[in-house]
């Protein structure tokens, strides 16, 4: 189930300004803004422009992976954990259009010591899953 926009709280996590995924100071970045639902799922409503295309009208596969990776990373941050990707697996189910609203969701499914298992998905504005990922993140000390 997709969280309702009214039940979301903006995620403030002290990201470095030049992060490609979420940094507001990166002129080439995606500048994603995540919010947190009551169950700690992170949510980002976004539009990726033609600057991130592979085939005309659709996002590049590497950008799709970046969006999913960012959502999984932010899911850890929503729990107060700073972690880096150890492994991720992406399923590209349908083409992800550029210049069209999408919703990106991330969730931590399990934690054990420094290891955190996560999932993410990109949905169309109609709620269809376009791509999904699973990942293993390792907490770092900052």
- Tell me the pLDDT tens digit for each residue of 105-135: 999 999 999 999 999 999 999 999 999 999 9
**Comparing 3 with 131, which gets the higher pLDDT?**
131
Provide the pLDDT confidence category of residue 10 given band limits of 50, 70 and 90.
Answer: low
What is the DSSP annotation of 54-116?
Answer: SSTTBB-HHHHHHHHHHHHHHHHHTTT--EEEEEEEEEE-S--BSSS-EEEEEEEEEEETTEE
Interatomic CA distance for residues 105 and 121, integer angstroms: 5
Prediction pTM value: 0.89
Q: Which of 32, 45, 36 is nearest to 101 (CA)?
A: 45
If pLDDT is split at 50, 70 and 90, which confidence band does 1 have? very low
User: Which residue is associated with the tokens 């955190």?
Assistant: 116
Give the residue-averaged pLDDT of 61-74: 97
Which residue in 4, 6, 39, 69 is the catalytic one? Answer: 69
Q: Tokens for 55, please give them.
A: 């085939």
Tell me whether residue 113 is exposed, middle or buried, using C-beta atoms within 10 angstroms of its C-beta: 0 to 12, 13 to 18, 19 or more. exposed
6 assigned to active site: no
Provide the residue range defining the domain that includes 74: 5-139
Q: How many domains does the chain have?
A: 1
CATH for 63: 3.10.129.10
């Amino acid at each position: 189930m997709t969280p309702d926009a009214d039940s979301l709280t903006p995620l403030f996590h002290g990201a470095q300004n030049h992060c490609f995924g979420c940094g507001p100071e990166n002129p080439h970045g995606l500048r994603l803004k995540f919010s947190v639902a009551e169950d700690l799922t992170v949510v980002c409503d976004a539009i990726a422009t033609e600057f991130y295309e592979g085939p005309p009208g659709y996002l590049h596969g590497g950008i799709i992976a970046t969006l999913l990776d960012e959502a999984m990373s932010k899911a850890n941050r929503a729990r107060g954990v700073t972690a880096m990707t150890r492994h991720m697996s992406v399923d590209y189910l349908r083409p992800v259009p550029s210049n069209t609203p999408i919703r990106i969701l991330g969730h931590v499914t399990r934690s054990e010591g420094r290891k955190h298992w996560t999932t993410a998905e990109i949905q169309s504005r109609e709620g269809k899953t376009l791509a999904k990922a699973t990942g293993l993140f390792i907490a770092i000390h900052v």
